[in-house]
Structure 1
């Protein structure tokens, strides 16, 4: 299966509590529900279509609890609820013992190894939604194949971020961009190997550049 991370983020990369104030107040986060004013019909259509493409979900403990308290009570006349309620859900948690949401499976032990095993199974998309701490583990172990980044035109200045310290350097290829009526840009990326590097420096450094480099080296040594 292909592992796809779909995430709502602000321009400064915050992904915490997009759907409601009470979703995740950890760290004193007071901006929960920031997504809602930007939601339009097109976003609903895209979310439903991509949900239908999931062969399985991979969720962290907090996102699982949010989803399990919401989607089973929406009713299967909603296409997203119908899909999420019937699809297999793999949950990474060190604290949960029982999963009450139908068709949910608890991942125990080494999460990275378990996810790598899941990716070897036949199928289409193994989708991750939210699950910020789990995504950090996936990034550290280079397990993400594609990103669907819903980028909202606002800055919050604090909160849990998608690409936190510890993510492995990686190059990505932009495969599509979709704009909504409210200015949300949805960027689709796939893995493209390791980053490439270069330099705009002069082939023969100027005296000022040589002195600048000496100054940097001196400050590092000190």
Structure 2
């Protein structure tokens, strides 16, 4: 069975909304002052350990507009353009960015089926609504959080109101910019 890993940029106060400058959030780009090449290398490594990316509509459209037109000279764009993408949306009519499959039915059922297939990890990037849909059903196996030393003050947070679960620390590693990688296994048996 594959693992589903949610990889997110997070502020010290738990905000995951708008880490990049292209996000439509009043404080968008708050993570960028802390981004260093070693973080890019870590993200590339996690991408290489997976064979698919789960995305919600908003993240899919944002990534597509940023990466699709870039050539192979940009390694991040080459990886994103070549990665199998599974897009969960009830409003998109098609997902025609290269290597994209649209999931329009019950996302819990479809992602349970994908997770049961043989293969490497399935990663989630951004896609807060999708993460909130999957967490209560025990479909997120690991959280890979890049926690920046910044208080954003407002914005959407990782865990939905009322959600609780146990976590097991897998790795904790600082980066030179002060960002702390915190990897946790989600203890789906301890969800309340």
TM-score range (shorter-chain normalised) is over 0.9
Counterparts in 2 of 1:70 and 1:89: CA distance versus 1, 3 Å: same
1:85 aligned partner? 81
SS of residue paired to 1:69: helix
1:45 aligned partner? 41
1:19 aligned partner? 20
State whether structure 2 residue 140 is matched by structure 1 residue 124.
no
State whether structure 2 residue 162 is matched by structure 1 residue 144.
no
Q: How does 1:36-185 map to 2 (within 5 A)?
A: 36-167=32-163, 169-185=164-180
Q: How does 1:1-12 map to 2 (within 5 A)?
A: 1-12=2-13
State the number of aligned residues.
190
Q: 8 Å contact 1:59–1:130 — kept in the other structure?
A: yes
Q: Distance in 1 between matches of 2:73 and 2:102?
A: 27
Write the deviation string for residues 88-143 of structure 1: whole angstroms up to 9, x where unpaired. 11000111002221110110111111111110110111000000111100112121
Gaps of at least 5 residues in structure 1 are 197-222
State whether structure 2 residue 181 is matched by structure 1 residue 186.
yes
Q: How does 1:27-38 map to 2 (within 5 A)?
A: 30-38=26-34
- Structure number with bigger Rg: 1
* Deviation of 1:192 (Å): 3.2
Q: Is 138-147 or 59-68 further displaced after alignment?
A: 138-147
Q: Distance in 1 between matches of 2:116 and 2:166?
A: 23
Q: Distance in 1 between matches of 2:189 and 2:92?
A: 36
Q: Distance in 2 between matches of 1:163 and 1:6?
A: 14
The TM-score, its normalising length taken from structure 2, stands at: 0.93
Counterparts in 2 of 1:103 and 1:166: CA distance versus 1, 3 Å: farther
After superposition, the CA RMSD in angstroms is 1.5
Write the deviation string for residues 154-179 of structure 1: whole angstroms up to 9, x where unpaired. 11221111012143x22111111121
Q: 8 Å contact 2:138–2:188 — kept in the other structure?
A: no
SS of residue paired to 1:32: coil
Q: Distance in 2 between matches of 1:174 and 1:190?
A: 7
* Deviation of 1:195 (Å): 4.3
Q: Distance in 2 between matches of 1:94 and 1:15?
A: 23
The TM-score, its normalising length taken from structure 1, stands at: 0.81
Q: Distance in 1 between matches of 2:7 and 2:149?
A: 17
Q: Select the structure with the greater relative contact order (CA < 8 A; seq sep ≥ 6).
A: 2
